Amino acid sequence: MTILAMALLLAGGPQLPSYPEALRCAGYTQARWETQTDKATPEARQFRKVAEFWSFAAMDAARVAGKTSAGAEADQVKARAEAHALLESDADAAGLILLACEKLMPAGVV
């Protein structure tokens, strides 16, 4: 059992999200963190923690789905690029996706 899966279990929260769901959230949260101009602020540090959570969740879900590590990493790069594009073109839509990802996180994990 991975650390993430154990944290989800201990938190009493939902099971590991599906790979597409975790990948989407990883891409958006990573892109959101990368847009922070001052990465030392408390808000930016929180964005980083959330992005790390989703990155690990996506890797765990990829393993369960039978994907290779290299394939999962490539998928995250692509998801992050797509998220950057939407963050730049439609911040409201990207914000709704980020909010949905936040709601999927177990309480107290980050």
Q: How far apart are the first and last CA of the chain?
A: 19
Q: How do the domains of the chain map onto residue ranges?
A: 17-104
Taking only Cα atoms into account, the Rg of the chain, rounded to an integer number of angstroms, comes to 13
Residue 40: per-residue pLDDT: 87
32-74 pLDDT per residue, tens: 999 988 888 998 888 899 999 999 999 999 999 999 999 999 9
Residue 8 pLDDT greater than 70, yes or no:
no
Q: What is the mean pLDDT of residues 19-30?
A: 96
Q: Distance (Å, rounded) from C-alpha 43 to C-alpha 37?
A: 11
Residue 16: per-residue pLDDT: 75
What's the predicted TM-score (pTM) here? Answer: 0.83
Residue 1 pLDDT greater than 50, yes or no:
no
In sign, the C-alpha dihedral spanning 91, 26, 7, 39 is: negative
